[in-house]
Amino acid sequence: MTILRPYGDTTGDGMVQMSFTLPMPHSKVAEGAAVQLANKMGMDPALVVHHKAMGPDFTFFVVYGRVNHLVDTSQVKVVERDFPLLTPKEVNAAIKRGLRRELVVVGACIGTDAHTVGIDAILNIKGFAGEKGLEYYSEIRVVNLGAQVSVPQLVARAQEERADAVLVSQVVTQREAHLLNTKEMSAAFREAYPADKRPLLVVGGPRFDEGIAAELGVDRVFARGTTPGEVASYLTDAIVARRAARTEAGV
Ligand code: B12
């Protein structure tokens, strides 16, 4: 079945829950305003099930109610994983066989962004979600530049280290900073490198849409919940496996 309705109490009843904050002190009027917003968003009836003053001037709401919208799963567009998931052993073996040298990864949070937990989750040996980070892989050399790295610094270091891949994290999304910084970064790499020598550009962060890699000028976007094993597998596929395929085809 491709047409679905959300489910709350009974199958297909259309019940959903959403939360938001209104910039007004908590009051009966504020609760009414929350219901009005929910109604305008197509939720009818809408019930305020939680409200809490957030300081003197803001109120947080959780609203529960029914929507009439249908979901057509045949029209959903997502980026499916198009590379095989490998174990660290398989990644190391593929790099050894295919590159005959270490694969070099340079990582950083760029712009004013100081949220390093995400990139560290991917790069640091301690890893994320039970998987070890890329530092654990014997055939991957990781240069983690940390927080608030400028684009010129990143390009210079990538050149110095002869990076195969550059991994950039962007967590702050205020005023689309993550999109603007990523576009600036990809443009700088395109300017600094001949097309066939440019490192693979990978960006990640919790609020990225994985479908906008081309628009951002990068090779791949990873979103929330990404694990180091997925990134190592992607890098192996993109750099090692595709290079081997090109050599075989004589291009
Ligand atoms: C910890 C934290 C901080 C710490 C950061 C410490 C550090 N060393 O990183 C401190 C206290 C410094 C901080 C500061 C600020 N923070 Co803060 N912070 C958070 C918090 C609570 C958790 C973020 C986190 O660590 N997540 C855990 C990691 C593992 O998840 P992740 O980053 O999503 O990473 C995963 C994926 O996204 C992906 N990934 C991420 N990067 C990359 C990169 C690559 C290459 C790949 C492949 C994958 C990948 O893989 C990771 C593992 O799955 C969030 C709220 C939240 N609950 O998310 C706010 C939050 C991110 N912070 C926020 C804000 C506003 C700020 C400040 C501006 C606050 C202020 N007014 O000063 C400052 C900005 C500082 C700066 N210059 O950047 C906002 C951002 C809002 C927005 N939309 O932009 C948030 C969402 C809180 C909020 N709701 O308001 N913050």
Q: What average pLDDT does the structure give for the chain?
A: 96
- Tell me how far the alpha carbon of residue 65 is from its chain's centroid: 30
pTM, entire model? 0.91
**Ligand 1 atom 63 nearest Cα:** 172
pLDDT of residue 105: 98
Distance (Å) from CA 166 to ligand 1 centroid = 20
Distance (Å) from CA 172 to ligand 1 centroid = 7
Residue 15's SS3 state is strand
Tokens of 73: 């799963």
**Ligand 1 atom 7 nearest Cα:** 115
Distance (Å) from CA 251 to ligand 1 centroid = 42
Q: What is the spatial distance between Cα 96 and Cα 159, in angstroms, rounded to a whole number?
A: 22
Number of the ligand 1 atom closest to the C-alpha atom of 223: 37
Distance (Å) from CA 67 to ligand 1 centroid = 32
pLDDT of residue 251: 65
Number of the ligand 1 atom closest to the C-alpha atom of 203: 45
Number of the ligand 1 atom closest to the C-alpha atom of 148: 77
Per-residue tens of pLDDT for the chain, all 251 residues: 799 999 999 999 999 999 999 999 999 999 999 999 999 999 999 999 999 999 999 999 999 999 999 999 999 999 999 999 999 999 999 999 999 999 999 999 999 999 999 999 999 999 999 999 999 999 999 999 999 999 999 999 999 999 999 999 999 999 999 999 999 999 999 999 999 899 999 999 999 999 999 999 999 999 999 999 999 999 999 999 877 777 777 76
Which protein residues touch ligand 1 with a CB less than 6 Å away? 112-119, 121-122, 128, 167-169, 171-174, 202-206, 222, 224-226, 231
HSE value, Cβ hemisphere, 13 Å, CA-based, for 234: 23
- For residue 6, is the peptide bond before it cis, meaning its omega torsion is within 30 degrees of 0? no
Residue positions annotated with a catalytic role: 126
Q: What is the spatial distance between Cα 97 and Cα 83, in angstroms, rounded to a whole number?
A: 18
With both helix axes pointing from N to C terminus, report the angle between 177-192 and 151-161 in degrees, rounded to the nearest 10.
40
pLDDT of residue 44: 96
**Ligand 1 atom 73 nearest Cα:** 114
